[in-house]
Amino acid sequence: TQLLEQSPQFLSIQEGENLTVYCNSSSVFSSLQWYRQEPGEGPVLLVTVVTGGEVKKLKRLTFQFGDARKDSSLHITAAQPGDTGLYLCAGFENTGTASKLTFGTGTRLQVTL
Amino acid sequence: KAGVTQTPRYLIKTRGQQVTLSCSPISGHRSVSWYQQTPGQGLQFLFEYFSETQRNKGNFPGRFSGRQFSNSRSEMNVSTLELGDSALYLCASSLVVAGFGNTIYFGEGSWLTVV
């Protein structure tokens, strides 16, 4: 079973600060996705990265996929209270006839005024 | 368009009972996946259905089962409930195969408490 470890587990910062969340695995994934989940809701897809070394930007969020496709990071610039939530990375495994997403352990972010 | 709908949203069951959860995917989506989310274990894959066939299954005991109907709606069943089954059960749908190149959409989940 492939495992995805995220760090840190919890992060409490003030509005305007920058932060980075890491997602690491000992295995290679076909692609990696990042989700944000708010209380009482299901996870919502933020981005999918496919190519090793790929960098994608979504407004103040920057996602990077490691060269070896085993790790990824999410960097948030000038965090806002609306960024509060549980951030999950998920690796996609494609066995040809079946597929599934393996989710990371999660990073709970709280941004205060 | 309407999102993924899960029912019921909240339920309380007693140990030993069984429970059935329902999921209606986004119209046109043929793939439905189920996940269990707990504070200790995080989000864990239960199974995926596509066109009424189970394509993949996670590492859960046989007490957990599911099925998909011809209209893509899906149900999951947990028999002989244990306290450790208390969790948020999430359903997700996608057009084709979940994951690579395809966006999956999650429902709001069904909160199950076993007492």
- For residue B43, the cross-strand partners are B37
B92 near A CB under 8 A: yes
Model pLDDT for residues A67-95, shown as the tens digit of each residue: 998 899 999 999 999 999 999 999 887 66
Q: What is the mean pLDDT of chain A?
A: 91
Using an 8 Å CB-CB cutoff, list residues of chain A that contact chain B.
1, 30-31, 33, 40-45, 48, 50, 88, 90, 92-95, 97-106
From chain A, pick out residues whose CB is under 8 angstroms from the CB of B108.
40-42
Residues in A closer than 8 angstroms to B90, CB to CB, are 42-43
Over range A4-33, report the average pLDDT: 93
Q: For B104, which of A30, A45, A95 is closest by C-beta distance?
A: A45
Contact criterion met (CB < 8 Å) for A44 and B106: yes
Residue B96 is predicted with a pLDDT of 72
pLDDT the model gives residue A98: 60
Report the candidate in B55, B69, B87 with the shortest Cα–Cα distance to residue B22: B69
Q: Report percent pLDDT > 70 for chain A.
A: 93
Task: Concatenate the DSSP letters of all residues of A34-100 into one string.
Answer: EEEE-TTS--EEEEEE-STT-EEEETTEEEEE-TTSSEEEEEESS--GGG-EEEEEEEEEE-SS-EE
Q: In terms of C-beta density within 10 A (0-12 exposed, 13-18 middle, 19 or more buried), how is residue A64 classed?
A: middle
CB B113 within 8 A of CB B14: no
pLDDT value of position B98: 54
Nearest chain A residue to B96 by CA: give it.
Answer: A99
Question: How much is the pLDDT for A26?
Answer: 86
- pLDDT tens per residue across span A53-73: 999 999 999 999 999 988 999
Backbone angles phi, psi at A39, to 5 degrees: -55, 130
Alpha carbon distances (Å) from A64 to A71, A79, A108, B21, B22: 8, 18, 19, 37, 36
Whole-number pLDDT of residue A99: 64
Predicted confidence at residue B104, as pLDDT, reads 85
Question: Is the Cβ–Cβ distance between A77 and A18 less than 8 Å?
Answer: yes
pLDDT values of chain B reduced to their tens digit, one per residue, 115 residues = 579 999 999 999 999 999 999 999 999 999 999 999 998 888 999 999 998 999 889 999 999 999 999 999 999 999 999 999 999 999 999 887 655 557 889 999 999 999 9
Which residue matches tokens 């009424």? B52
pLDDT in tens, B60-77: 999 999 999 999 999 999
**Region for residue A68 given its phi and psi (left: phi exceeds 0; alpha: psi -120 to 50; beta: otherwise):** alpha
Q: Decide if A100 and B44 are in contact by the 8 Å CB cutoff.
A: no
Q: Do B42 and A41 touch (CB under 8 A)?
A: no
**Sign (positive or negative) of CA dihedral B84, B90, B91, B92:** negative
| DSSP state letter for B102 | B
Task: Find where tokens 């395809």 sit.
Answer: B102
| pLDDT value at residue B103 | 80
